[in-house]
Structure 1
Amino acid sequence: MASQDIANPPQPPSPNGISAASILATLADSRPLTSHEEEEEDEELDDDVSGGIALAVQEQVASYPILHSSNMAAPHSVEAGDFLQHYPLLMTDVMAEAGLETYSGMDQHAAALEYLSMTQIPTPASLAPSIADGLLTLPSTISPTSLHEAMSYEADSESASFGQNWSGVQDGDKFQDISTFYRQHIHHPNSGTLISLEGARRPSSICREDLRGDSCDYQGIDWSVRRTTRSTIRAERTSYESNRIPSRLQALRSVIAPTRDTENFFSFRRMNTQHRAFIHHFQLRNLLASTSRNDVFYATGDQVNRTDASGTYDNVTMDLSREFTEGYRFMVTTLAASDDILIAGGFEGEYALTDLSSASDTKYTVGRIAGRSRNAKSHIMNHMHLFNSRHSYTPQVAFCSNDEQLRILDCYTNTFTHSFHYSAPVNCSATSPNGRMRVVVGDFFETLITNAETGQPFERLHTHDDGIFACDWADDGIHVATAAQDTSIVIWDARNWSEPLRVMHSELSVPRCVKFSPVGGGPRVLVSAEADDYVSIIDAQTFESKQVFDYFGRTAGISMTRDGSSLFIANVDPHYGGIIELERCAWGEQKSITPNSCCDWMMDEEMHLDNRVVCGWRERQRRGLNLGELMV
């Protein structure tokens, strides 16, 4: 070891020096990692259009389907001819307005850049990308590679509990939590006496009886003591976030008429504030699953916890903190459950499943996706759903993975039976009730209607202009819904794939989950959960009206009980999050379009033959009376 000069001891590095070194390291590979790969090719295209998980090499770009304006189906509010006539001109003007060669994102590290170059390099305002939640609009001259590549890594307040190898991919420009937004953007005339939202004590649960208007909303916030109203804060937040929507998306949304907010399908019942899910990746929001009001499961990083609608203390159903894949912890990215099976997917293609029907304390089983290629950029489990096999009585699960494959697992034998490869990362899928067809969506912009047995697409539907992250198939076997990062929600009729039944846009943020209500659950609805603040409950008979339930915070997932009586929402706001329960209301109302049609997915006399229907005829007739809450 060389001797040191005692008179001139080495000085610790300056903060600017550390930041400069960090920038140099970042510039070496500016793409945020989505797996734990250490070696990446320098020639990969780093930028993408909207942020996400997947990685795409340049050879794959040419094979991705390109959405042409002539393929865009007309929304129901616009005549088809007018829409197709004006849409290309509209998009040409918008993209020409944003067409740029390059951009720089160095302005946040000006001091460190001075340390490197002795000259501050500001970012020209005209060259900066515009960002909305999950939607990064880059200059139009940059080819979109993968819309599933992560925009940024963000240090989360909970990340320390997962160790140094924790690798949560977060949205660099998500909605601010309500406490930060209130502090930074609400200007009170008596700002010197402004009462902060941080640190306010909340009860363990908030029930319908606790609501006091602005004195106590359903998140337990007292707005009256802060000399404002909830509606005022909501209007300010809506205005602020609306101005951040990229012009390209504003143009797309402007040609689709908003859906009327006139329905009343659900009402607030309870919020349990002690149960908080954890989001590992900002685009993956299926971290909540319920089989009944007594069994509500949610992911908290490397654990899956169980609670119930009354908010009892949670218990750990699967503790995955000791499970490692190639040295990395099991980090839950998606969750699914049925009466018998609970299954969780992870960041490295691992999964854990347990038998919920076992009378004993059955330990979970951990496995990894079959055919896992070491050459794949990422193996993140993006989505999974359970369905019944046409050939056996054992439940099956479909894994949608970032390595561009969809795999089928037999849950009872823990054996992979099928594997289907697609041209880009697969983000979500849903199997038709008869098990013959499957809708598959991903970073390939198309909605694929495939043969469930072979995986081969027989319909390629072009309606979205961005990566698609959510889909569902209704219990009637006819209606299919998809939702994408362009904030659009598209409804299809399986009897006619030539054009969509309806096209609508979200309330404000990106729709991350869409779920149809179950058969036997009352008037049929489609639930759309956005990344932040909003859940829309859409009339699935006409798709022309909806009910909007708004709150403050990011959405980690939604789940509806099998009888359709309760809708659970996981809110992960750091101060005012929890699990919200909405309950069905207006059970006695008949909402059929015509006297001979049914408001549910099938006629009432047919339901007793369908084993998916949980409630019997007499129980369905008595719904809404709350007989279960009577004390005798």
Structure 2
Amino acid sequence: MEQFQNHELEYVVDEYYDISDVEDDDVSPRSGNGSVDDDSVNSDFDDDFEVSKPKTDTSALEARNGKDIQGIPWERLNFTREKYRESRLKQYKNYENLSSSREDLEKECKEVEKGHNFYDFQFNTRLVKSTIVHFQLRNLLWATSKHDVYLMQNYSVMHWSSLLRRGKEVLNVAKPIIPTLKYPGCSAEPLSRVQISTMSVKDNLMVAGGFQGELICKSLNQTGVAFCTKVTTDENAITNAVDIYRNPSGATRVMAANNDAQVRVLDAANFACINRFTFPWSVNNTSVSPDGKMVAILGDSAECLLADAQSGKVMSNLKGHLDYSFASAWHPDGRILATGNQDTTCRLWDIRKPSESIAVLKGRMGAIRTIRFTSDGRFLAMAEPADFVHVFDAKSDYAVGQEIDLFGEIAGISFSPDTEALFVGVSDRTYGSLLEFNRRRYDHYLECLF
């Protein structure tokens, strides 16, 4: 990935469009000032938030009555939402590393019938607000249930309860972090002032990667941090992706992908490094197949690789993308792999026939930075760097879709494990927030009554 000197933790893409110029007067005093270069690096959240809903939040009822889902007061501005959207679509500049011709790309893209609502807006809160440290890395939000979401806010890992409408700090990485797990030969070491670049939460384990090659592992039901270290001393050592998975024997593993072109596998029982794979380019993203046997390797190359998760041996080269890739996800059946690229597309691959992609899905403005499947395999969601999240119906062969239209940089997206909720983290000085959408259910049995 692009080497990037981070001097301000939150807003690294100010040349893109910051909607703080439409700031209203109702910003929560608890929301912070949006920068980590403050004199104080203490948590913005000393205690739980009040349960009462502040006026900066937006409910589904308020949205149905005409309130903007993000609380942007368009009626007080000199331009309408439609005009602002039109302007952004015209002026947005997608970031590219490779400048190859893309004239034929549109012809490959699947025609999608838009306008469907698979997930309905439910709630938006500005009591917690997502932040990012690198404009190409957006896996900073994870839902472990339809009521529990974990996200990065400056130097804090926050937990948001959508049931209680309450936020709580889980981990403060600005303060010194002392690992609690110690044994002879353990590579753990204290860390401090870590800028979290990527994160994953699964099976009661939270794993976070840092801007200087750090790796932090914490059990959610225990105090303190079990393990932390710098996995590399390379000058350009960003931890670009982390993945939590089970190998074929059922053991939990942690996989970390770094800018030093290496992928490391750790045993989640003692966090010992049990394997290390090296590739020809910086690895931006990895995702392990549901059966734990294969891993998708994506990075500073137009090609994506399929490798054996045990040995790291490359099994297939996936060719079709035109730029660097930063996102991937497996369908729960283990046969379909989705990859997201800076060429503004998501490609779907049938790993039984990897010679060419089976479908190409197009975004509206920019790169595809995050991809998620629902646990039942019914829906695929992909997020652009800003403004758009797309949800596709896999049952229709991805030919039917929903487009979620918002304003702001997108720090991450996540379906709840039961598929009932979709969460979107928005990073913006004023309108940074957490958006919640609920799966629309159709009561077909009622049709027989009419």
Shared fold by TM > 0.5? yes
Q: 2:227 aligns to what?
A: 366
Q: 1:317 aligns to what?
A: 170
Which one of the candidate residues 176, 179, 203 is aligned to 1:339? 203
Q: 1:382 aligns to what?
A: 240
Q: Is the 8 A contact 1:253 1:505 kept in 2?
A: no
Shift of residue 172, structure 1, vs aligned partner: 6.0
2:287 is paired with a residue whose SS is strand
1:378 is paired with a residue whose SS is coil
Distance in 2 separating the partners of 1:254 and 1:535: 19
Distance in 1 separating the partners of 2:155 and 2:19: 26
Shift of residue 276, structure 1, vs aligned partner: 1.0
Q: Is the 8 A contact 1:471 1:482 kept in 2?
A: yes
Distance in 1 separating the partners of 2:321 and 2:297: 14
Which of the two has higher C-alpha Rg? 1
The answer as to 2:426 corresponding to 1:576 is no
Q: 1:178 aligns to what?
A: 19
Shift of residue 380, structure 1, vs aligned partner: 1.0
The answer as to 2:329 corresponding to 1:472 is yes
Distance in 2 separating the partners of 1:254 and 1:499: 16
Distance in 2 separating the partners of 1:149 and 1:287: 19
Q: 1:343 to 1:242 in 2, by over 3 A?
A: closer
Q: Is the 8 A contact 2:262 2:279 kept in 1?
A: yes
Q: Is the 8 A contact 2:202 2:244 kept in 1?
A: yes
Residue deviations 1:136-168 (CA, integer Å, cap 9, x gap) = xxxxxxxxxxxx233x76x64xx5xxxxxxxx7
Q: 1:328 to 1:322 in 2, by over 3 A?
A: closer
Which one of the candidate residues 510, 513, 525 is aligned to 2:370? 513
Q: 2:77 aligns to what?
A: 226
Distance in 2 separating the partners of 1:473 and 1:430: 7
Shift of residue 430, structure 1, vs aligned partner: 1.1
Q: 1:453 to 1:534 in 2, by over 3 A?
A: same
After superposition, residues 304-453 of structure 1 pair within 5 angstroms as 304-310=157-163, 312-323=165-176, 329-356=193-220, 358=221, 361-368=222-229, 370=231, 372=232, 374=233, 376-391=234-249, 393-453=250-310
Which one of the candidate residues 45, 52, 60 is aligned to 1:208? 60
Shift of residue 488, structure 1, vs aligned partner: 1.7
Distance in 1 separating the partners of 2:191 and 2:310: 35
Which one of the candidate residues 220, 238, 262 is aligned to 2:89? 238
Q: Is the 8 A contact 1:276 1:577 kept in 2?
A: yes
Shift of residue 571, structure 1, vs aligned partner: 0.3
Residue deviations 1:542-574 (CA, integer Å, cap 9, x gap) = 122311001010001111111011011000111
Residue deviations 1:569-606 (CA, integer Å, cap 9, x gap) = 000111112000011003446xxxxxxxxxxxxxxxxx
Give the letter aligned to residue 379 of structure 1.
A
Residue deviations 1:50-88 (CA, integer Å, cap 9, x gap) = xxx4xxxxxxxxxxxxxxxxxxxxxxxxxxxxxxxxxxx
Residue deviations 1:81-103 (CA, integer Å, cap 9, x gap) = xxxxxxxxxxxxxxxxxxxxxxx
Q: Is the 8 A contact 1:537 1:548 kept in 2?
A: yes
Q: 1:540 aligns to what?
A: 394
1:314 is paired with a residue whose SS is strand
Distance in 1 separating the partners of 2:359 and 2:322: 16
The answer as to 2:364 corresponding to 1:526 is no
Which one of the candidate residues 343, 362, 367 is aligned to 1:486? 343
Shift of residue 424, structure 1, vs aligned partner: 0.9
Residue deviations 1:276-323 (CA, integer Å, cap 9, x gap) = 122111111011111013321111232211111146332221122223
2:92 is paired with a residue whose SS is helix
Residue deviations 1:462-506 (CA, integer Å, cap 9, x gap) = 111111101111101111000111112110012211221011321
Distance in 2 separating the partners of 1:539 and 1:510: 21
Residue deviations 1:404-446 (CA, integer Å, cap 9, x gap) = 1111111121211111111111111111111111111111221
Q: Is the 8 A contact 2:219 2:226 kept in 1?
A: no
Q: Is the 8 A contact 1:256 1:505 kept in 2?
A: no
Distance in 2 separating the partners of 1:435 and 1:247: 35
Is the deviation greater in 327-336 or in 274-283?
327-336
Give the letter aligned to residue 87 of structure 2.
E
Q: 1:249 to 1:366 in 2, by over 3 A?
A: farther
Q: 1:275 aligns to what?
A: 128
Distance in 1 separating the partners of 2:191 and 2:336: 43
Identity of aligned residues (%): 27
Q: Is the 8 A contact 2:11 2:428 kept in 1?
A: no
Which one of the candidate residues 416, 424, 430 is aligned to 1:561? 416
Q: 1:263 to 1:379 in 2, by over 3 A?
A: same
Shift of residue 226, structure 1, vs aligned partner: 3.5
Ranges in structure 1 where 5+ consecutive residues have no aligned partner: 1-52, 54-147, 160-167, 181-195, 590-620, 623-632
Structure (1/2) with the larger helix percentage: 1
Shift of residue 178, structure 1, vs aligned partner: 2.0
Q: Is the 8 A contact 2:290 2:333 kept in 1?
A: yes
Distance in 2 separating the partners of 1:587 and 1:425: 45
Shift of residue 536, structure 1, vs aligned partner: 0.4
Q: 2:46 aligns to what?
A: none
Q: 2:352 aligns to what?
A: 495
Q: 1:436 to 1:466 in 2, by over 3 A?
A: same
TM-score, normalised via structure 1 length: 0.60
Distance in 2 separating the partners of 1:432 and 1:439: 8
Q: 1:86 aligns to what?
A: none
Q: 1:330 to 1:479 in 2, by over 3 A?
A: same
TM-score, normalised via structure 2 length: 0.83
Distance in 1 separating the partners of 2:198 and 2:155: 11
Shift of residue 344, structure 1, vs aligned partner: 1.3
Shift of residue 507, structure 1, vs aligned partner: 1.5
Residue deviations 1:6-57 (CA, integer Å, cap 9, x gap) = xxxxxxxxxxxxxxxxxxxxxxxxxxxxxxxxxxxxxxxxxxxxxxx4xxxx
Distance in 1 separating the partners of 2:428 and 2:354: 40
Shift of residue 169, structure 1, vs aligned partner: 8.6
Q: 2:119 aligns to what?
A: 266
Q: Is the 8 A contact 1:354 1:364 kept in 2?
A: yes
Tell me which of the two structures has the higher relative contact order, counting C-alpha pairs closer than 8 angstroms and 6 or more residues apart. Answer: 2
Q: Is the 8 A contact 2:415 2:422 kept in 1?
A: yes
Which one of the candidate residues 445, 459, 468 is aligned to 2:316? 459
Q: 1:179 to 1:253 in 2, by over 3 A?
A: farther
Distance in 1 separating the partners of 2:151 and 2:120: 22
Q: 1:551 aligns to what?
A: 406
